[in-house]
Amino acid sequence: MSQLRTYQREVARRISTEIADTEIQPVSLSEAKGYANFDGNLKDSEFDMLITESLKAFENFTGKLMFRRNVTVAFECEGESLMILPYLPVVEIVSVQKDGEDVEYTLKGDRININAVGEVEVVYECGLFESQAENDVKLGCLKFITSNFEDKQDIAAMGITEMPNNSRSHWLRYKNFSL
């Protein structure tokens, strides 16, 4: 019979999360209008909004940032703590600091082990793509944009009630699943 080591670790409470903005969009305005078979300039601002919303919908659905950028997360730690990073995939840890001083840590996937008391700030780079999304992600965005452009009933109370036009099937392989 093997012996399992157990460690007394608290899961650190996340206080705040800030995600750096990105100027990169999953599809261009001309791609979105072309896919929707819309020929005109009157709806450019609506398409721009839907392009941005498709990026947010992808990230909310998958739990992963589409394009690489920095995320800053503050945690409240109480000794030996496990900090679970909210967005994936982790590309690089930029810093782990308490009161402006570097803190030793170990990283395994989306979890950082640390021994500290108080507020700890983690800055890390994450995201799936550097500058251009893969075709299946783009197709999911185009379907999302077109469906919401044609049938504005899918957006209720400033949130998407369901993924239109089977957008989610194109994004499913990127989704985080947890036990």
How many Å apart are CA 5 and CA 128, to the nearest integer? Answer: 34
Task: Answer whether residue 148 is part of any domain.
Answer: yes
Task: Answer whether residue 122 is part of any domain.
Answer: yes
| pLDDT by position in tens, the chain (length 179) | 445 455 556 899 999 999 999 999 999 999 999 998 887 777 888 999 999 999 999 998 898 999 999 999 999 999 999 999 999 899 999 999 999 999 999 999 889 999 999 999 999 999 999 999 999 999 999 999 998 887 765 444 445 555 566 676 778 778 876 54
Question: What kind and span of H or E run contains 142?
Answer: helix 135-150
* Count of the separate structural domains present in the chain: 1
Task: Answer whether residue 15 is part of any domain.
Answer: yes
Task: Answer whether residue 176 is part of any domain.
Answer: no
Task: Answer whether residue 179 is part of any domain.
Answer: no
Pair of tokens at residue 137: 């992600």
* Residue showing tokens 């392989």: 173
Task: Answer whether residue 177 is part of any domain.
Answer: no
Task: Answer whether residue 42 is part of any domain.
Answer: yes
Pair of tokens at residue 42: 């009157």
Q: Is the pTM of this model over 0.85?
A: no
Can you give the residue range of the structural domain that contains 55? 1-171
Task: Answer whether residue 178 is part of any domain.
Answer: no
Report the Cα–Cα distance between both ends of the chain, in Å, rounded.
Answer: 26
How many Å apart are CA 14 and CA 72, to the nearest integer? Answer: 11
Which of 169, 166, 147 minimizes the C-alpha distance to 50? 147
